[in-house]
Amino acid sequence: MNYQQILEKTFQEIIPYRKLGKQADYIPELAKVNPNQFGMCLRTLNGESFQVGEANVRFSIQSISKVFSLTMGLALMNDDLWSRMGKEPSGTAFNSVIQLEMEKGKPRNPFINSGAIVMADILLSHLRNPKTDFITFVRAIGGNESIDYNEALALSERKKSYMNAAIINLIKFYGNIVNRIEDVLHFYFLMCSVEMSCQELATAFLAFANHKAAFNYGNVKLTASQVKRINAIMQTCGFYDEAGEFAYLVGLPGKSGVGGGIVAINPMSYSVAVWSPRLNEKGNSVMGMKALELLTTKTKESIF
């Protein structure tokens, strides 16, 4: 498979989509990002790497970080984790309060905001130094010690986080938050603020693509069965209330973020990351969604 040629053709074909959508301007720091950027990197399990565009430019991974926090939470708690949250698709917006109230403070899955906030609470309770431990894990799996938080972005997001404040207060009311609300929100926004490039994200997600290999990054250890289950949750819950559309068009497990990034895996074959800041109404990258649809169409490779 000539992946480099496929990526280059894909890049040319998505140019008409460059001006569609808009970046997540409700987060002040993200509003400053040049929206006319696109990067894509594909890495295979046999060590090959292919890329186009701004694949080495770092951006805020936002909700893609929820895969890393789920990984750490599952390594710490095993199946006890699911007493705090579910693993079903939400079918509602990622910041829905209505669903959370109906389900008495138990988030539907770890990839919507309420689930990730509970996950932040879990990590605060179980890790000796949560801030250091989380970024140490991300650096290890991403293969670069210079990966870091953008603390200015985290502060920017906190200042406008009225909906997330409502979510965590509702969860606290139902007894599903243990730590101080401000501590949990601060850590949640820090995790979302991590900046990585497409190349680094594709590197990180090779560990999920190769579920038959040992998953062992410092104190974060998973069984092959646990890795496959994380992939299953990415497939069903990784794209807010557009997970079905992504499965239909692309056919790969993955996770998106409102920073414009999307990462996906083809199990036992490759991982691929794409970034373009302009989002559709569901909060997913317009060019990223189209690029991955074209990738699996051209390669005729998906999980289906």
Per-residue model confidence as pLDDT tens digits over 262-288: 999 999 999 999 999 999 999 999 999
Average pLDDT score, the chain: 95
The share of the chain scoring above pLDDT 90, in percent, equals 88
Distance CA 107, CA 22 (A): 28
Q: Which of 257, 293, 301 is nearest to 275 (CA)?
A: 257
- Residue whose token pair is 């926004």: 189
Query: Is 137 strand, coil or helix?
Result: helix
DSSP class of residue 27?
S
Query: Is 188 strand, coil or helix?
Result: helix
Q: 301 among the known binding-site residues? A: no
Q: According to DSSP H, which parts of the chain are helical?
A: 3-13, 28-31, 65-77, 98-102, 113-126, 130-142, 151-159, 162-173, 181-193, 198-209, 224-237, 243-249, 286-299
Q: Which residues contact 157 (CB under 8 A, 6 or more apart)?
A: 27, 29, 189, 192, 193
Greatest CA separation for the chain: 54
Tally: H helices and E strands in the chain: 13, 9
What is the domain partition of the chain in residue ranges? 3-299
299: confidence class by pLDDT, cuts 50, 70, 90: very high
Distance of CA 162 to the CA centre of its chain: 22
Query: Is 185 strand, coil or helix?
Result: helix
DSSP class of residue 94?
T
- Residue whose token pair is 């890790």: 127
Between the alpha carbon of residue 27 and those of residues 36, 161, 258, the distances in Å are: 18, 9, 10
Q: 164 among the known binding-site residues? A: yes
Task: Give pLDDT, residue 159.
Answer: 86
- Residue whose token pair is 């800041």: 277
Residue type at position 59: F
Range name among 112-116, 155-159, 173-177, 276-280 with the lowest pLDDT average: 155-159
Q: 113 among the known binding-site residues? A: yes
Task: Give pLDDT, residue 93.
Answer: 76
Q: 210 among the known binding-site residues? A: no
pTM of the model: 0.96
pLDDT in tens, 199-238: 999 999 999 999 888 899 989 999 999 999 999 999 999 9
Under CATH, which number does the domain 3-299 receive? 3.40.710.10
Distance CA 267, CA 252 (A): 9
Contact 106, 174 (CB under 8 A): yes
Contact 26, 39 (CB under 8 A): no
Task: Give pLDDT, residue 301.
Answer: 92
Q: 188 among the known binding-site residues? A: yes
DSSP bridge partners of 279: 22, 285
Angle value at C-alpha 68, between 264 and 284, nearest 5 degrees: 45
Q: Which of 295, 291, 288 is nearest to 21 (CA)?
A: 288
